[in-house]
Amino acid sequence: MSRAIVTGASGGLGLEFAKLLAADKHDLVLIARSAGKLDAIAADLRSRYGVNVETLALDLSRVGAAAEVVARVPECDVLINNAGFATNGRFDEIPEERIREEVLLDVLTLTELTRGYLPGMRARGAGRVLNVASTAAFLPGPFMAVYYACKAYVLSFSQAIAEELRGTGVTVTCLCPGATATGFADRAHANTTRLFKRLPVANAATVARAGYRGMLRGRDLVIPGFFNNLVALGPRLSPRRLLVRISRKTIE
């Protein structure tokens, strides 16, 4: 039996990853801020799948959060860096504290957790990392500028270390979903954007399954859905200035 960590496991995609891992008999460490939700999910997964489930109620948008996780859970065979959020609005009007938390959670904690667990995985010659980016990784996002830039980082970082680790038995997969029905749009105040009102919105279980399967196969990149693959092709098909304008229309 192996141990898997899922960040952002109190709902949305993270909860779906937790269910898939439990069904495959992994012991779990579930992390998010909502202790009550995590405890209820843990009890349900224990009784349905007979696996051990620990919960860590932590705010991962703080400096030092990843180090705290690694100190409390020193070993991990499957790391799913899923927690993340976006903020919709003009960059110069978004509170500085919110921007800081977004970068800390979406970029720094993901990077430090990966750094914390890769040495153990390499020493054992086996391990899986799944980093959740977004189709936002492929283009700039006016009115969600920080989020799109953070996800571009996650994609670049993941593909680079996937290459470094080739042949070691440790794989890094980057999942790039498009709009998906979770708590995400509400939290980002993005429910009224074209992105969520006019474009296809995927089911969370379907997206998580695609990412999970890709991770098991050791794929570097998973883009679930035909439309999202078109978005990912955007930078190759259109000039960047045009792309930014189109992107703006979907988020504004």
Ligand X SMILES: NC(=O)c1ccc[n+]([C@@H]2O[C@H](COP(=O)([O-])OP(=O)(O)OC[C@H]3O[C@@H](n4cnc5c(N)ncnc54)[C@H](OP(=O)(O)O)[C@@H]3O)[C@@H](O)[C@H]2O)c1
Summarize as ranges the residues that interact with ligand X (CB under 6 A): 8-14, 32-34, 37, 59-61, 82-85, 105, 132, 134, 177, 179-180, 182-184, 187
Pick 8 or 116: Cβ nearer ligand X: 8
What does the block give as tokens for 185?
Answer: 């749009």
- Within 10 angstroms of residue 123's Cβ, the number of other Cβ atoms is 10
Catalytic pick among 19, 117, 147, 212: 147
Pick 74 or 200: Cβ nearer ligand X: 200
Closest CB 228 distance from ligand X, rounded Å: 9
- The torsion of the CA quartet 251, 180, 156, 221, rounded to 10 degrees, works out to -140
Pick 114 or 182: Cβ nearer ligand X: 182
Closest CB 169 distance from ligand X, rounded Å: 26
- The number of C-alpha atoms within 13 Å of 150 and in the hemisphere containing its C-beta is 25
CA distance linking residue 222 with residue 174, whole number of Å: 6
Pick 124 or 252: Cβ nearer ligand X: 252
| 145-164 vs 96-103: helix crossing angle, rounded to 10 | 20
Catalytic pick among 117, 148, 151, 212: 151
| 35-49 vs 12-23: helix crossing angle, rounded to 10 | 20
Closest CA to 177 of 243, 108, 131, 128: 131
Look up 148 and say whether it is catalytic.
Answer: no
Look up 151 and say whether it is catalytic.
Answer: yes
Q: What are phi and psi of 86, to 5 degrees?
A: -125, 160
Closest CB 168 distance from ligand X, rounded Å: 26
Residue nearest to ligand X (CB): 12
Closest CB 79 distance from ligand X, rounded Å: 14
Active-site annotation, residues: 147, 151
